[in-house]
A = this chain, B = another copy of it.
Amino acid sequence: MPRPTPSSRRAVVLLSGGLDSSTVLAWAKQAGWELVAVSFRYGQRHPREMEAAQHQAALWKVAEHIQAQVDLAPVGGSALLGTAEVPKGRAMEEMGSDIPVTYVPARNALFLTYGLAVAEARKISEIFIGANAVDYSGYPDCRPDFLDAFEKMAILATKMGREGTRIHVRAPLLFMSKAEIVRKARELGLDLGHTWTCYDPQPDGSPCGLCDACRLRAQGFAAAGIPDPLLERRGT
């Protein structure tokens, strides 16, 4: 985790309310960054994700929490936008082998660009994202070469970039396994029971336990040897 310098004290952090972005939020905060969190209402099936983002943003005392309406429903082409069934009960090896139907086309690219607009308007040159190239190897816009290309584009897209400011996209979890992220989150004191991962929340507000995201999360907690407090809340 990079520490802020006097010239870059502030950072934008993309915050979905999931385990990864919440970990990045807590980590950046503890490293000394003053944070502007940006969350998106993009047509998710359930408000649980945004509730988790609000909870984490308040807990970690962000300077500003932007909750932006960016409607991705017209984009289509993803189970997360309600145009196909969320697959359930897939094996780990199946998940890594191809881009899943839950892939939202260019979502990271779009959210990063929105984060860039927020950053540009506030003269902030650092953007944190919970992108991970290990567990989500199937997602093209989670990979390091994409993030490098995005930084180059960002410099040319902005006034600050044109004037010589180096813009950084920081993805501190990029090469960490889910188990390492769980351990890091616990070390940071993250309230893991209020992070949200599931692609298909149940009517009673609990995670389905069977979608790819739930299974990756469960596997990460198991490998880290830590019980998932979100599941312990389930019966309450």
Q: Give the secondary structure class of A's interface.
A: helix
Interface pick from A2-10, A48-56, A66-74, A183-191: A66-74
Residues of B within 8 A of A120 (CB): 77, 105-106
Interchain CB contact (< 8 A) of A149 among B67, B143, B156 = B156
Interchain CB contact (< 8 A) of A71 among B68, B75, B143 = B68
Residues of B within 8 A of A143 (CB): 156
Residues of B within 8 A of A156 (CB): 140-141, 143, 145-146, 149
Chain A 28-51 interface mask (CB, 8 Å, partner B; 1/0): 000000000000000000000000
How many copies the complex holds: the figure is 2
Q: Is A63 an interface residue, CB under 8 A from the partner?
A: no
A117–B106 contact, CB under 8 A? Answer: yes
Number of interface residues of A (CB under 8 A): 46
A121–B70 contact, CB under 8 A? Answer: no
A121–B78 contact, CB under 8 A? Answer: yes
